[in-house]
Structure 1
Amino acid sequence: MRIELDNKQQPIQVIQITDTHLGDQPGEPLLGMDTDQSLGHVLDLIRKERKPADLMLATGDISNCGSVASYQRFHQLTQHLAPRALWLPGNHDSLPAMQQAMAGAEELNRCAEVGDWQIVMLDSTTPGEVGGNFSADELAFLRQTLQDSTASHVLICLHHHPVIIGCDWLDQQQVANADDFFAIIDEFDSVRGLLWGHIHQPIDQQRKGVRLMATPSSCVQFAANSPGFKLARLNPGYRWLELHADGRIDTAVSRVTGVEFDIDYQCSSGY
Structure 2
Amino acid sequence: MRPTAWHATDDLDAFLVRAGDFLRSRPDLHTVPLTVTEVLRTRGPHAYGSGVPVLGLLEEGGSVRATYFRTPPHRLFLTPLTAERADSLAAHLQSLGQPVPGVSADARTAAAFAEAWRLRTGASPVPYRRQRLYRLGTLTAPRPLPEGRARIAGHGDRDLLVRWFGEFGRAVGESGGTPPESWADARLAYGGVTLWESPDGTPLAMAGLTPPVAGQIRVAPVYTPVPLRGRGYAGAVTAEVSRLARERGADEVLLFTDLANPTSNGLYQRLGYRPVADFTVYDFQGQSSS
The structure with more radius of gyration: 2
For normalisation by structure 1, the TM-score amounts to: 0.30
Greater per-residue helix proportion: 2
Question: Greater relative contact order: 1 or 2 (C-alpha under 8 angstroms, separation 6 or more)?
Answer: 2
